[in-house]
Amino acid sequence: MCIVYIGRMPPKTSTSTSQHGIQARALMRGARTAVLSTLMAEGGAPYGSLVLSATAPDATPVLLLSKLAVHTANLLRDPRASLLYETPGGPVDPLGGARLSLLGTISPSAPAFAASDRARFLSRHPSAAVYADFADFGFYRLLPAHGNLVAGFGQIHWLAGADVLLPEDQYGAMAGLEAGIVAHMNADHRESIGLYAERLLGLAPGGWGMSGCDPEGCDLEWAGSLARLPFAAPVHNADQARHELARLADLARQKNP
């Protein structure tokens, strides 16, 4: 059961470990969409809506919202909100998969993050470029206060907001390298990307490309389909990223087609 607390702290029995943070970030980074819950003006009833989701290098959720939407009007009046993420694709039993309720406040992306948020969001959702520059649209970030991770039956863990995100010393260098890594892989290593998708992730053959790369994994995209390839361990510089991507390519080649 996934419990959302708005306006008060989670129970004192909360738990938070780095492993749970890794699981939470994997859900956020792997998800194409999330359910956004905001508070209505009259009576404060929660209002749920489906939104496209991306993440900043530290895993901060990034949204593209219209001021004409009910949820944005709610946020501009009361920034408290939650995002619900579920396992991409979903298991046969919808409650058998992992999910994350992330609670916090949502506000427009600060000028320092505007360019990066735009680039990462549109890389993940290219079709959004058609309306991203409309006057009523803007990029927003959720600053997490708490996260409730349901990792499986009976595996319910509370995380502090800081434990959901990567600290700057773990993502800072990679944030500046991402564009170069993605461009290089798409230009020179499309075969490897295809092997990642087909042999490591079990996906159908196609024109897979890389749309993002962060310390914990890379994002693949083809014809609107998205996939997440996790790294065996976080990478923090170009050499580590190169070695891990090469290792994954070798591993994929060793697997039977």
What's residue 60's pLDDT? 96
Q: Which two tokens stand for residue 126?
A: 């290219």
What's residue 256's pLDDT? 73
Map tokens 């295809």 to a residue: 194
Q: Average pLDDT across each block of 10 residues of the chain; the chain has 257 residues. List them in order.
A: 39 58 93 96 92 95 98 97 87 79 97 94 94 97 96 85 90 89 96 97 95 94 91 94 97 87
Say what the alpha-carbon torsion angle 22, 25, 26, 31 is, to the nearest 10 degrees: 170
Question: Which of the 8 DSSP states describes residue 104?
Answer: E
Do residues 55 and 175 make contact, with C-beta atoms less than 8 angstroms apart?
no
Say which residues have a Cβ less than 8 Å from residue 226's Cβ, sequence separation at least 6: 30, 32, 88, 124, 211, 219, 220
Neighbours of 18 (CB within 10 A): 8
What's residue 100's pLDDT? 96
The full set of domains in the chain, from first to last, is: 18-165 (2.30.110.10), 170-254 (3.20.180.10)
Distance of alpha carbon 145 from alpha carbon 47, whole angstroms: 19
Say which residues have a Cβ less than 8 Å from residue 29's Cβ, sequence separation at least 6: 55, 59, 214, 216, 217, 219, 228
CA 30 to chain centre: 6
What's residue 53's pLDDT? 96
Q: What are phi and psi of 219, to 5 degrees?
A: -110, 135
What's residue 151's pLDDT? 82
Query: Which of 105, 130, 100, 124 shows the shortest CA–CA distance to 35?
Result: 100
